[in-house]
Amino acid sequence: MKEIIDGFLKFQREAFPKREALFKQLATQQSPRTLFISCSDSRLVPELVTQREPGDLFVIRNAGNIVPSYGPEPGGV
């Protein structure tokens, strides 16, 4: 847990000030143009491997990287 807290504090100290305008804009709205469906595997960071900025991707992560086919199913909406 200490590593996570230290990383967050480092982000606040170093990364946030350099990109403050971007983060302020993202705080008011988001408008990603791409839906990225990915496995919930922690080794893959979609924004890193696609070289996208914060707010560029709408990321959905699930076990198995599965998108079920559409159709009426019991209990479906």
12 is in an annotated binding site: no
Domain boundaries, the chain: 1-28, 31-66
What's the confidence (pLDDT) of residue 67?
A: 81
41 is in an annotated binding site: yes
Whether 6 has a pLDDT exceeding 70, the answer reads yes
The per-residue pLDDT for range 18-74, each reduced to its tens digit, is 999 999 999 999 999 999 999 899 999 999 999 999 999 999 999 887 787 776 766
Burial class (CB in 10 A: 0-12, 13-18, 19+), 59: middle
What's the confidence (pLDDT) of residue 74?
A: 65
Question: Which residues, 6+ apart, have CB-to-CB distance to 43 below 8 Å?
Answer: none
Question: Which residues, 6+ apart, have CB-to-CB distance to 22 below 8 Å?
Answer: 53, 54, 55
